[in-house]
Amino acid sequence: MSDVYAHPSTDAQPAAAMLAGYTTLRLGGPAGRLVTAVSAEEIVQKVQQAQLHDEPILVLAGGSNVVIGDQGFPGTVVLVRSRGLRVLTEDADTVTVRVEAGEPWDDFVAATVANGWSGVECLSGIPGSAGATPIQNVGAYGQEVAETITGVQVYDRTDGSVGRVDAADCGFAYRSSIFKYSDRWVVLSVDFRLARSPLSGPVRYAELARSLGVEVGGRVPLAEARSTVLRLRAGKGMVLDAEDPDTWSVGSFFTNPVLDREAYELLRERAADLGEPPSWPCPGDMVKVSAAWLIDKAGFAKGHPGPGGTAISTKHTLALTNRAGGTSTAALLGLAREIRDGVHARFGTPLHPEPVLINCTL
């Protein structure tokens, strides 16, 4: 599932409907057919109907982590608009909540804070749907959904069954899962186990800790964590705003590279004149480095213009934005290639796209 932007008012849309209206990038060509599903049962039904006609299928929810080519998508696009959450189990310390795939993610986070459920408060302000979060293993400010997901309800297109994938079988990794590069599973709902607490989880992210005035590892009231994260994200153009072209993006376009020791030492050598690259240790003696730092030091500053009205955000070097009417996906990908190739030429470090690319390539 990839995330979407607008809410259609009818079940079937005109054949020439442009997918740009369903993505936060505001880019994407025509859909062969658009249908809307407002429940898990309807999601399964719409996908099965397309399968019976042997049509290509694209499942879209919030449109915030997808880049769709200018040629659009020739098959059926299923727009996921299921809503709601319910408590499955609870005890004195925890609560397990099932969230429908189409529930707007930030609405769910707001509900957890209001109910005194701790575990996803640092993921406030992220656009898109709840059902997309396990696909990407969404993370920010020191939290990842893999830490709280207990299972994902899915439709298996291979055998036509509806079942559950336990968290241990989801293949969660940095911004990835078994769902990300496979069209086998369609996410129907997601189960989260959260702590009953008025306080946030331990604050792990240094920038957030500084903004909150606590040491790394400290805890703060849930509402304070949420409001501070929202402020930090807005300052980087990472909270959707119809009036701000800096938010017309997919958020971070590139993932932070995870390097083995040899590659990391090569990077340090090439960056010796620039200072120590920001980095974090990872399991297996790997090192994660800052893609934003690499992009900036390779000569691509905030606001760097690209072709056809595209540009790096004026607020964050990781966001590539569509800033003008008539901008194309091809133009945006042209900017992405310029940045990717420039970083590799300067540092020898590869950059990989974070969003899912549909009918287009980088």
Which fold would CATH assign to domain 245-358?
3.90.78
pLDDT class of 16 with cuts at 50, 70, 90: low
Domains 19-80 and 85-235 share a fold: no
Q: Which of 2, 124, 189, 252 is catalytic?
A: 252
Task: Indicate if 196 belongs to the active site.
Answer: no
Q: What is the pLDDT of residue 4?
A: 35
The dihedral sign for the CA sequence 347, 349, 350, 352: negative
The C-alpha atoms of residue 228 and residue 225 are separated, in whole angstroms, by: 5
Mean residue pLDDT across the chain: 93
Task: Indicate if 249 belongs to the active site.
Answer: no
pLDDT average, residue stretch 15-43: 92
Cα end-to-end span (Å), the chain: 20
- How many other C-beta atoms can be found within 10 angstroms of the C-beta atom of residue 357? 16
pLDDT tens string 200-231: 999 999 999 999 999 999 999 999 999 999 99
pLDDT average, residue stretch 111-139: 97
Element at 98 (helix H, strand E): strand 94-100
- Backbone φ, ψ for residue 105 (5° rounding): -60, -45
Which fold would CATH assign to domain 85-235?
3.30.465
Q: Which of 100, 103, 144, 354 is catalytic?
A: 354
- Backbone φ, ψ for residue 148 (5° rounding): -120, -15
Q: What is the pLDDT of residue 325?
A: 72
pLDDT tens string 75-102: 999 999 999 999 999 999 999 999 999 9
The dihedral sign for the CA sequence 199, 204, 207, 209: positive
Report the candidate in 16, 111, 22 with the shortest Cα–Cα distance to residue 60.
22
pLDDT class of 13 with cuts at 50, 70, 90: very low
pLDDT higher than 50, residue 270: yes
Domain 19-80 -> CATH class: alpha beta
Report the candidate in 336, 334, 342 with the shortest Cα–Cα distance to residue 355.
336
Q: What is the pLDDT of residue 9?
A: 32
Q: Which amino acid is at 131?
A: G
Is-contact 59 14, C-beta < 8 A?
Answer: no
Domain range summary for the chain, segments of one domain joined by +: 19-80, 85-235, 245-358
Q: Which of 26, 98, 175, 340 is catalytic?
A: 175
pLDDT class of 45 with cuts at 50, 70, 90: very high
pLDDT higher than 60, residue 30: yes
Task: Indicate if 197 belongs to the active site.
Answer: no
The C-alpha atoms of residue 79 and residue 21 are separated, in whole angstroms, by: 12
pLDDT tens string 56-68: 999 999 999 999 9
